[in-house]
């Protein structure tokens, strides 16, 4: 706060001081005091009033600057409130006390909210582990019965299992950084693990899989294997959900995987894994929002009941692992998801 700003904020006090000096001069002159002594008295009075005003300005300036930083929202708001200097004048002390009380109440509510989130996450994790037991038993019974008529039931149970896994990752989304371990992983092995986990839905949908683009040579990347299998599973689920339907084209539904190393031998070396399907594609108006939480787009509204969480979790998990993800598509023709794995520091991993 500048001195001019302070004067503009206190016009009554500034005007009253100037009026007091002028009135003192006129009164002294009216009482018969000569001009020079009158000016000297008025000058002394003006200096005393200026010193008092300057003292108030300097005292308020520090507090107002701290309030301005707080209002602009830079940094931790609660920490800044705790560091606010006590002004030492009535109005400022009242504002300081009010802010301190608001901060205490906010910390208490934040603590309660965090405790509720932790309890909720623990409940979901416990529920997931409990519900997986009867699901596993149901899968085992279906395999033992070996009745082709029950294959659709096995597919639906697999979808339930996938949604449960998605719910578990979403419940842990606030603390996922405590639940991953970056290791050297074979990219082909990760893809095959994801395909095995989704084999029932792939078979039921008639989706063919092309792995020729992965090549015979194992490609090593740095990631958390559990997270990456989940990410690839979400991509596979979308490919199945939005596959080419019978009668909409001459080609059967297909998904292909390909890997390539870019900038080999340089500091920017990375591995790109592309997952491409020949499904219904995505409208260009939706393409920029497919990774937003809860966004389903035109396809999700017209073809299936989509939660809009799968690709959101894909983006979030990739960001935490330092993996870049992007999506390209042509409506009515194809969709390609590309994962870019940096190679820096790969040799130091176990």
Q: In 3-state terms, what secondary structure has residue 196?
A: helix
Overall number of domains in the chain: 2
Give the contacts of 197 (CB within 8 A, at least 6 positions apart): 229, 233
CA–CA separation, 330 vs 120, rounded Å? 40
What would the pLDDT profile of 58-101 be if each residue is shown by its tens digit?
676 677 777 777 767 666 777 777 767 777 766 777 877 888 88
Mark 151-166 as b/e (b = at least 16 C-beta within 10 Å). eeebbebbbebbebbb
**Domain membership flag for residue 34:** yes
Are 71 and 191 in a shared domain?
no
User: If pLDDT is split at 50, 70 and 90, which confidence band does 104 have?
Assistant: confident
**Domain membership flag for residue 94:** no
CA–CA separation, 28 vs 39, rounded Å? 9
C-alpha 127, offset from chain centre: 26
Whole-number percent of the chain with pLDDT over 70: 82
CA–CA separation, 150 vs 159, rounded Å? 15
Look at the pTM and tell me if it is higher than 0.75.
Answer: no
User: 175: closest CA among 125, 222, 131?
Assistant: 125
**Domain membership flag for residue 322:** yes
**Domain membership flag for residue 335:** yes
CA–CA separation, 195 vs 261, rounded Å? 22
For the cut 90, the answer to whether the pLDDT of residue 336 exceeds it is yes
CA–CA separation, 211 vs 222, rounded Å? 20
Between helix 310-321 and helix 151-171 the angle, nearest 10°, is 50
Final residue of a domain: which of 48, 70, 85? Answer: 85
**Domain membership flag for residue 150:** no
Final residue of a domain: which of 67, 85, 103? Answer: 85
Give the structural domain span for 56: 3-85
CA–CA separation, 103 vs 258, rounded Å? 53
Q: Which residues pair with 336 in a beta bridge?
A: 276, 328
Are 218 and 71 in a shared domain?
no
Final residue of a domain: which of 22, 52, 85? Answer: 85
**Domain membership flag for residue 41:** yes
Query: Which of the residue ranges 46-55, 261-270, 293-302 has the most confident prediction, judged by mean pLDDT?
Result: 261-270
Q: What is the mean pLDDT of the chain?
A: 80
**Domain membership flag for residue 283:** yes
What would the pLDDT profile of 290-318 be if each residue is shown by its tens digit?
888 877 777 666 655 667 788 988 998 89
CATH number at residue 199: 3.30.565.10
């Amino acid at each position: 706060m500048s001195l001019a700003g302070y004067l503009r904020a206190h016009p009554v006090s500034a005007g009253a001081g100037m009026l007091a000096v002028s009135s003192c001069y006129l009164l002294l002159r009216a009482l018969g005091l000569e001009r020079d002594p009158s000016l000297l008295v008025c000058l002394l009075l003006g200096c005393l009033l200026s010193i008092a005003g300057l003292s108030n300005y300097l005292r308020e300036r520090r507090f107002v600057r701290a309030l301005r930083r707080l209002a602009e929202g830079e940094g931790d708001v609660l920490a800044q409130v705790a560091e606010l200097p006590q002004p030492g004048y009535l109005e400022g002390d009242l504002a300081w006390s009010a802010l301190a009380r608001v901060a205490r109440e906010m910390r208490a509510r934040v603590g309660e909210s965090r405790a509720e989130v932790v309890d909720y996450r623990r409940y979901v994790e416990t529920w997931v582990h409990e519900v997986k037991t009867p699901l596993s038993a149901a899968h085992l019974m279906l395999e033992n019965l070996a009745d082709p008529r029950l294959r659709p039931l096995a597919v639906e149970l697999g979808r339930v299992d996938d949604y449960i896994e998605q719910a578990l990752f979403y419940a842990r989304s606030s603390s996922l950084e405590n639940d991953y371990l970056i290791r050297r992983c074979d990219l082909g092995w990760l893809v095959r693990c994801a395909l095995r986990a989704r084999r029932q839905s792939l078979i039921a949908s008639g989706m063919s899989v092309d792995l020729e683009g992965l090549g015979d040579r194992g490609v090593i990347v740095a990631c958390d294997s559990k997270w990456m299998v989940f990410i690839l599973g979400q991509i596979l689920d979308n490919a199945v959900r939005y596959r080419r339907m019978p009668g909409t084209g001459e080609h059967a539904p297909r998904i292909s995987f390909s890997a390539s190393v870019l900038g080999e031998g340089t500091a920017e070396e990375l591995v790109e894994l592309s997952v491409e399907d020949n499904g219904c594609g995505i409208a260009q108006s939706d393409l920029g929002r497919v990774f937003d939480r809860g966004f389903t787009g035109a396809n999700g509204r017209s073809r299936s009941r989509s939660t809009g969480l799968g690709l959101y979790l894909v983006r979030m998990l990739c960001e935490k692992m330092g993996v870049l993800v992007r999506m390209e598509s042509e409506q009515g023709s194809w969709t390609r998801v590309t994962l870019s794995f940096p190679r820096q520091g790969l040799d130091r991993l176990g």
